[in-house]
Chain A
Amino acid sequence: MTHQTRTDSYSPLKRMLLVSMIVIPFIPFLLVMASGGYFFYSSIENKTINNMKRIVEDHRQVIEFFLEERKTDLAWILNTYPVEQLSQADLLRNIIVHLQAKSPAFADIGLFDENGVHVAYWGPYQLSGKVYSDAPWFQKVMQDGWYISDVFLGFRKEPHFIIAVRKDDGNRKWVLRSTIDSHLFTDFVERVRIGKTGEAYILNKEGYFQTERRSGGRLMSRDPEHEKNPDFHTGIETFLQKNNAGDEYLYATAWLKSNEWLLVVREEKSEVFQSLRMASLLSLLILAAGGMLMVPLGFYVTGRIIQRMEKMESAKGLLEQQLIGASRLAELGEMAAGFAHEINNPLQIMKSEKALIDMVLTDMIKTDHIPESENLTTLMDSLSQIQLQINRCAKITQAILKFGRQGDPSPQIISLPEFIPEVTGMVEKKAAVEGIRIIRDVHEDSPKIYADPGQLQQVLLNLYNNAIDAMIEKNDPEGGFLRIQTRPDPAGAVEISVTDSGSGIRPENLKKIFSPFFTTKPVGKGTGLGLSVCYGIVQSMGGNLSVASREGEGTTFVVTLPAYKG
């Protein structure tokens, strides 16, 4: 019950310890994880986006360069060859062969005059002679000097776009036009590959595919993700957008071809940030592992601390109890001594009165005032009983007084090899009568001690008498033995042990053996103060008195006294 409440009293402390052991280390841990995670995330994100931007920029330049080169090719041809030569299909054929060697995207080539008349053509279709003066591309090239169209089907029903350049030759104007194969252009644009889902394509202002898209998106169809016309912007723009299937993409876009085409590079977000996902997964794993480590550790350490505290508490409690016990014992001794002293006076009177009664009674019997009778015998018996009981009281009060008033000790240096035989000699006769052997095992070089010889004698005699009584109680036919042994203690003390082969002490009595008034001797035989007096004496000498016993086998009392250092 008390133990229960003690454990309970620790539970708030235990909770607090657990919280501080587990939660508090988690806070910096989490902070580190979160801030680290945040910076890592943003750095990776920046890097990825920048990478994407770089790809778009590079690719934009490449495509721009490609278109510019094709334009320059045509301009160069138009300006190098005289128009008369360009009007010959053979020459055009040679030229296209050369051009195709340089860029297979050139599908055909044609020369127009200022009226839009197809003067000469070389290519897979029969187009020469047609008049294009009303065609928007022709008007545009006449106006700007060059033109690159969006992708269209035209007469050929094949997706393509055209590049056209104009030459002013005096008052005449000539236009050289070439068709670029959209499929080949697509291949060129698509060449950018980023990861598994990365892809590049071109949209026009209205959001129609100018090149095919790998993940689906036919040429000249509208990009389903760009339902409205793409916004114009300068430089490169990046953004996240979900497609209709719900997959999120990271986009990077840049306008090219005089802001008519939009180059789009996109990659699935999950792939872009795969390394981030791995990192956060790893972080979570570390967090979980850390927690798994920290929680049992917290419990373990808390348990140990509580255990330690409980141990200390109980040790403290024990010490307190001993202190209380000691002071109570001293108080008890004082009180008992005063008490005993006061009892002795009435006892003295009773004794004198009894002696007087005896004397008067004897006189009366002698002078025949009282005849012999059974009543007289009873009376005499009763009187002797009174004497007996008075003596018994006197014995008790004497023992109490001995216990209560130790007197001032007068310590001196004692040599055990001399002292012990002296004291042992006092009980030798008594032991011999009972057939008890006395074994003395006192080393000649036992350390000297500094104590009151009278007190030490009292202690030893008390132990001897108890030992002899225990052996008498056992009634051993062999008589038994009493062994007195001294030996130096490793801690600089001397141990005097008194061992008997007597009846032993019951385990439940061992604890109480030094308590005052505790005795197992028959009523009237022991006062229960002998051992408590011994205990007090040995303690006052700075020593210790301990006992070990086995019921029916014997008992050993060990007096440990500090060795004299002089």
Chain B
Amino acid sequence: MQKMTLMIVDDEERFLETTRKLLEKKGFQVVTAGNGSEAMKMLYSREVHVVILDVKMPGKDGNTILREIKQLFPLVEVIMLTGHATVDSAIDGLKSGAADYLTKPADIEELIRKAEDAYEKRLRQEEKIRLAQSKQIMKSPREILKDSTGEG
């Protein structure tokens, strides 16, 4: 199984640093971003499986970033980190395609658990895609070729 790469997006510098250290110690690959544009840059530059995204940040807010991510990188799973106890913003996030949500202050174990769940979900999704693709190939390899020529 491929190792999970997590990205944490939060405006709290220290939170990013400590959580990265913790997760790395647990054996995950971790990248961090202090705001939305940094996060987008990071997604372009390297493969990230799961994003932990703070809802409330200066500049672009979490839900806007979520929609951008989902538009550009639909397979990236996002877990919303919300300071609001009301699940309103989290519900908004879930509706926009977030995999799950966490309320601040979140336990590191819970964070890992939810991240792993999301990662599994992604893996399953990728599996399904692969399966579908292979079925397609088995059914009409020509069409695939056609498709790829059409695309190319």
Contacts and interface: CB of A to CB of B under 8 A. Distances in A.
Interface string A355-369: 110010001000000
B28 to A, nearest CB: 13
A398 B103 contact: yes
A312 to B, nearest CB: 41
Nearest to B104: A344
Interface string B81-95: 001111010000000
A345 B108 contact: no
A341 B18 contact: no
Given A353-B18, A355-B22, A348 B106 contact: yes
Given A356-B22, A359-B22, A345 B84 contact: no
B95 to A, nearest CB: 13
Nearest to A359: B25
B147 interface: no
Interface string B49-61: 0000000100000
Given A352-B15, A359-B25, A407-B86, 13 more contacts: A344-B104, A348-B105, A351-B106, A351-B107, A355-B22, A363-B25, A394-B105, A397-B85, A399-B85, A401-B84, A401-B85, A401-B86, A405-B84
Interface residues of B, number: 20
A349 B85 CA distance: 17
Max chain A Cβ within 10 angstroms of own Cβ: one of B56, B83, B88, B107: B83
B12 interface: yes
A242 B11 CA distance: 119
A399 B22 CA distance: 28
Contacts of A355: 22, 107-108
A281 interface: no
A356 to B, nearest CB: 5
17 contacts: A341-B84, A344-B105, A345-B83, A347-B104, A347-B105, A349-B14, A352-B15, A353-B14, A353-B18, A356-B21, A359-B25, A363-B25, A390-B105, A394-B104, A398-B103, A407-B86, A408-B88
Nearest to B109: A355
Interface in B1-51: 12, 14-15, 18-19, 21-22, 25
Q: Which 10 A-B residue pairs are closest in the complex by CB-CB distance? A: A401-B85, A347-B105, A398-B85, A348-B105, A344-B104, A355-B108, A352-B18, A344-B83, A407-B88, A351-B105
Given A341-B56, A345-B15, A349-B14, A402 B85 contact: yes
A110 B104 CA distance: 155
A399 B85 CA distance: 8
Interface residues of A, number: 25
Q: Which of B14, B18, B105 has the most CB of A within 10 A?
A: B105
Contact of B12 (A349, A363, A407, A408): A349
Contacts of A402: 85-86
A352 B8 CA distance: 13
A285 interface: no
Q: Looking at B88, B103, B104, which has the most chain A CB atoms within 10 Å of its CB?
A: B104
Interface in A15-43: none
Contacts of A345: 12, 15, 83, 104
A350 interface: yes
Contacts of A407: 86, 88
Interface string A324-357: 0000000000000000010011011111110110
Contacts of B104: 344-345, 347-348, 394
A438 to B, nearest CB: 27
Given A341-B56, A359-B22, A407-B88, A351 B108 contact: yes
A399 B86 CA distance: 9
Interface string A376-400: 0000000000000010001001110
Interface in B66-94: 83-86, 88
B18 to A, nearest CB: 4
Nearest to A395: B85
B104 to A, nearest CB: 4
Contacts of B84: 341, 401, 405
Contacts of A408: 88
Contacts of B21: 356
Contact of B18 (A347, A356, A390, A399): A356
Interface in A48-94: none
Contacts of A344: 83, 104-105
B80 to A, nearest CB: 14
A523 B22 CA distance: 32
Given A345-B15, A348-B15, A356-B18, A405 B86 contact: yes
Nearest to B19: A352
Contacts of B18: 349, 352-353, 356
B113 to A, nearest CB: 13
A359 to B, nearest CB: 6
A407 B86 CA distance: 7
Contacts of A356: 18, 21-22, 25
Most interface-central of B19, B85, B106 (chain A CB within 10 A): B85
A401 B84 CA distance: 6
A59 B12 CA distance: 131
A453 to B, nearest CB: 14
B148 to A, nearest CB: 46
B38 to A, nearest CB: 18
Contacts of B86: 401-402, 405-407
Nearest to A387: B107
Nearest to A350: B105
Interface in B92-140: 103-108
Nearest to A393: B105
Most buried by B among A347, A390, A398: A398
A353 B12 CA distance: 13
Contacts of B107: 351, 355
Contacts of A398: 85, 103
A398 B82 CA distance: 11
B85 to A, nearest CB: 4
Contacts of B15: 345, 348-349, 352
Interface string A78-115: 00000000000000000000000000000000000000
